[in-house]
Chains A and B, each alone.
Chain A
C-alpha cells in the first residue's frame, strides 16, 4: 500500500464535484448559461443579419462579444462568490485537515470553470447560429472559443481576488459592480464606437476590452495586434493575482497561523 493516494483520481473526483456543485446552484448556472443568451437577444438579435461597413457580420461580432462576456462572468462570479461562500462555511478548514493537496482543489476549480465556460459559449453560439441565423465557418467558432478560454486568466485571478478579499455577502455585489460596468465600458454589450465619448477613451485601459479583441479578431474585425492584447491581459493577470495572493495570505495568518 502506498503512503498517499494518487493525485489523478483525486483531481478527477474533485473536478466532477465542482461541476455538479456549479450545476446545482441555479444562481450560478442560470446566470452563466442563460444570461448571455438573454443579453444577446436584447442587444444583438435585431441587428444580427446586418453587416458593418467593413463587411464584418454584426451578428457574429456581437456573438464574439457576448461569448467573451460569458466566459469572464463564469470566472469572476464562479470564483468570486464560490470561494467567498466556502470560506464563510469553513469548507476550507475541513479540506485543509485532509491529505488533499491545495493545488488539486484549485486546479479542479479552474478545470470546472473552463468546462462550464465551454458549455456556456457553445450554447450561446448555437443560439446565434440557429435562432439569429449568423453564418460563419465552424473553424471561426472554434477559434473564438479557444482564444477566450486561453485568455480568461485575468478573470480567474480577479475572481480569486474577490473571493479571498471579501465575505459571502459582499462578494456577489462586488462581482457585479466590477464586472458589469467593466463589460459595458469595454464594448462587450455594444461596439465601442457606439459608446459615449468618455467611455470610448477609457476602454483601451480595461482588461475586458483587450479580451474582446481576441474574440473580435477571430470573426474578422480589425483589431490591435494580438501581442498587445496578450500583454495587457498578462499585466492584469499579474495585478489581480497580487491582490488575490495578498488577501489569501492575510486569511492564512488569521485562520491557520
Chain B
C-alpha cells in the first residue's frame, strides 16, 4: 500500500508535465538550480572539512537544522503545500491510518524539494570525510532527518489547516513569525561587527542546536566525531522522541481528518447590497463593488494585505536596528516603504482574472467592456490600497519626525501604486496562471505553477521599476539634497505620471482583454 501511494504520487508528478511543457521546463530548471546549489555547498563543506573539521561539522549541523526548520516554516507561512495528496482524498479507501501516514510521508520525497532536501542533508556528511564512522552515521542521520522534515512540514500544515477555517489566522501567524526576526536583528548586527568572532561562535551555537529536534539528526555525527558520547546519547534521545511525538501527532491528525470532512462554517448574511451598492450602478461600478468585497472577504487576497504590516515592521524597526550606528540611525531605508508597498499592492491585481477563476464567465457572457472591467478593479484596489499606502508613507515619517519629506513620499508612494496598477491591468488581461481556487485553503498551491508565475511576475516587476524610475529619481534627489523643491517635483511627477499610466493601463488592458476574452476564459478553465 505504501508503494502504491508512492507510485500514485509519481504518476501525479509526471502527468503534471503532460498538461503543459512549461511545467516540465520549470521543473528541470528548478532541479538543475537546486542540484547546482547543493553540490556546490557539498564541495565547499568537503574542503572546509579537510582544513578545519570542527568548523565544517558545526556548519553541517546548523545547515541541516536550518533545512528541517525551513520545512516546518516555509510551507505553512509562505508557499503552502500541493493538495493533490491530501489525506481527505483517501477517506473512502480502507487504508489503516498508520500505513496512510507513512505512504503520504514517503510520497513527499517525490518532487524537486523533497529530493533536494534528502540530497543536501546527505551531502553535509562530506564534512566528516576524515572520520568514516561519523560519515556513515551522518548519512543515516540525513535520511532520518529528511523524513523528519517531511513529517514536520505535514504536521505544521495540518495544524495550520485546522485553524485556517478562521480567516486571518495565517496573517496573524505570519506576523508572529516576524517578532523573533525583529529581535534577531540586533544580535546579528552584533555578530557582524566583529567578523572573526563568527568562526568561534558557530561551534558554540551548533553545540546547542544539536539538542533541538531540528538539529538532533544532523548533530549525531558531529557529537560522534568529537568523541562527545554524552551529547550523542542525548541527541539520539531528542531525535527519537521528536520523531515519535511528531509521528503520533500526524497520525492523530490524519485519523481525525479522514472522518471529519472539511466543513467551513457558513458565513454571516449580508444585509442589502453591501459594497456592490456603494458604487455607481454602472458596469465599472459593479466590478469595483464586487472586487472590494473580495479584497475584504477572500482569504487569498488577504495574503497580499498581510505583507503590508510585515514590511512596515521590517523597514521601520528591524532594518534601523541593524544600522543603528550610521548617521541617520539607519532610518533612510524606511523611506523606501511608501513606494515599495504601493508597488506591491498595485501588483496584486495582476492575478485578478486568475483569482476570479471560471466566475470570470459572467463578465464574458455579459459583454462587459474591457475598460469597465479594468477600471472597476483599479478603483477597488484604490479603495483598499490608498489608505494602506498612506500608512506606509506616514508611519516612517512619524517615527523620524522629518515631515519635510512628506510631499516627496506621497508622490513616490501614490505614484508607485498608480503605476503598478496600470501595468498590472495590462498584464492580467494577457497572462493568467494557476492560483489557489476560490474556497480552497490559501495553504494549497496548485501543482506546477512555479515557472510561469515567476516569469510573468518578474517581468511585470521589472516593468513597474522602469516606469517608476522617473519619479523615484526625483525622490532620491529630494532625499539626498534635502531641497523641498525636489520634494514637490516628486509629488507632481509621481501623481501625474501615475494617473496617466493608470489610465493608459485601463485603456490598453481593456482593449487587449476585449480581443482575448474567449482565450482568457479558456485559460481559467484549464487552471481549474
A binds B: no
